[in-house]
Amino acid sequence: PLLQAAGKKNSFNLLGLTEAELEEQFVRGAGPGGQATNKTNNCVVLKHIPSGIVVKCHQTRSAEQNRKIAREILQEKVDLFYKGEDSDVFKEKKASERKKQEKKRRAKENLERKKHLKEMQQLDKK
């Protein structure tokens, strides 16, 4: 469940990865795209050998961009794996969840106020 917090975060205090710890493969991607997807090996599968974490990235048609993106995601997942709840990625995810819940709560309160105001106007008309 902790590893699901990794994605595209702006954390700079992450654990470093060395190329010796990584195993990289290029495979054919899956999904929509027809011949462009079925004939090119631009999907990157990156494995962090010490932790066993595997990341598969096929976000763009460029193998180089996919390599870069896969390394960023893997670095965040490895950071979460070793640091747990002390990780910046985890703290950022929790903060965004709290912000989202607060926004939902305010929207609900506004809806209740509008509903109450409408009821009061109906009573005034009668």
Per-residue pLDDT of the chain in tens (126 residues, 90 and over written 9): 445 445 545 555 667 777 888 899 998 887 777 777 778 888 999 999 998 999 999 988 888 999 999 998 898 888 888 887 777 778 888 888 899 999 999 999 999 999 999 999 888 887
Residue 62 sits at φ, ψ, to 5 deg, of: -90, 125
Does 70 fall in a domain? Answer: yes
| Structural domain for 52, as ranges | 19-83
Which tokens sit at 24? 């990289």
Domains of the chain: total:
2
Question: How confident is the model at residue 77, as a pLDDT?
Answer: 87
CA-CA-CA-CA torsion sign (106, 111, 117, 123): negative
Residue 64 and residue 116 share a domain: no
Does 1 fall in a domain? Answer: no
Does 10 fall in a domain? Answer: no
Q: What is the CATH number of the domain that holds 64?
A: 3.30.160.20
Residue 102 and residue 70 share a domain: no
pTM comes to 0.62
Question: How confident is the model at residue 107, as a pLDDT?
Answer: 96
Residue 78 and residue 48 share a domain: yes
Residue 62 and residue 33 share a domain: yes
CA distances in angstroms from 110 to 96, 116, 118, 120, listed in the order given: 21, 10, 12, 15
